[in-house]
Every structure is written in C-alpha cells, then in structure tokens.
Amino acid sequence: MNKAYLSITSLCEYIDCSHTYVKDRIRDKTFQLGVHYVQPDGPNTKYKFIRSEIDKWMQRDVSSESKSLAQIMVEKLIAS
C-alpha cells in the first residue's frame, strides 16, 4: 500500500529530485500549502506532501507555448 503522505526525503526519492529543488518549489509557490503539502503540527514544522496531489502535479499538461519552444529547441539541436 502506498502512503498517502510523503516526507520531504520520501518525496525527493519519489520524484527523483534534491531537497533544494523541493524547497525552491515551496518558495516559488509551485507547491502550495493545503494543496500539495500540509504542516499538521503547525508553522515551522515538518512538511507532509500529499501523494495524490504530487501525482497530479507530475502529470500536468505542459502549455502549448512550452511545447512549441521545446520543438524549436529540438530542431535547432538537430540542425547543428
């Protein structure tokens, strides 16, 4: 059975990233309190990430503008 909540260390293993990456996503509000994570023991306590919301975030659709930019970059790489 998969855990419903992940610690920051478990999250880093789950999405294959560093602690710094996760903390940056919290700072820039990509991960939102009450949506992607909670702090059940109050402010300045450990984060508990909501696995189902992290899954949704990972499966989000990339905007068409980003896809177009990526396509242009691939074409430039192929051409060089």
DSSP notation for the chain? ---SEE-HHHHHHHHT--HHHHHHHHHTTSS-BTTTEE-TT-TTS--EEEHHHHHHHHTPPPPHHHHHHHHHHHHHHHH-
The pLDDT, as a whole number, for residue 33 is 95
Check residue 61 and give its pLDDT.
64
Looking at residue 51, its pLDDT comes to 96
Model's pTM, two decimal places? Answer: 0.71
Domain encompassing residue 11 = 5-79
Please, what is the average pLDDT of the chain? 87
Low-confidence ranges of the chain (pLDDT < 50): 1
Q: What is the pLDDT of residue 31?
A: 95
Structural domains of the chain, count? 1
